[in-house]
């Protein structure tokens, strides 16, 4: 009989970095939204083409995607990997097969 234990692929640090990255992406898209005028015949270029919407918000979205990528690439520490997995692997290698 073999017992299979499921473990998470990422550690806590990875999930925190991915969550922060998603939050930055959402924040960037929220900064890009808006610019609607109450009067449709009046064009306010300073609202639509502001620094916030043209430069800062896309930078936040890009930064968020980079943080998500780093969160995926970070190797979890050995302490974060379940010690039970290591002992389980050690115990399965020590099994004796009777013929």
| Nearest by Cα to 79 from 13, 15, 6 | 13
- pTM attached to this predicted model: 0.68
pLDDT in tens, 61-96: 999 999 999 999 998 776 645 555 555 555 555 556
Taking a C-beta distance cutoff of 8 angstroms, is the pair 77, 10 a contact?
no
**Alpha helix ranges (H) inside 1-99:** 12-32, 45-48, 51, 57-73, 83-93
End-to-end CA distance of the chain: 15
């Amino acid at each position: 009989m073999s017992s299979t234990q499921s473990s998470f692929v990422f550690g806590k640090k990875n999930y925190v970095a991915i969550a922060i990255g998603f939050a930055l992406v959402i924040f960037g898209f929220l900064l890009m939204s808006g610019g609607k005028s109450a009067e449709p015949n009046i064009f306010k270029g300073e609202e639509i083409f502001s620094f916030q919407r043209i430069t800062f918000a896309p930078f936040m979205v890009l930064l968020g995607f980079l943080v998500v990528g780093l969160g995926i690439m970070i190797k979890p520490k050995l302490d974060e990997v379940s010690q039970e997995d290591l002992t389980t692997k050690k115990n399965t290698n020590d099994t004796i097969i009777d013929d």
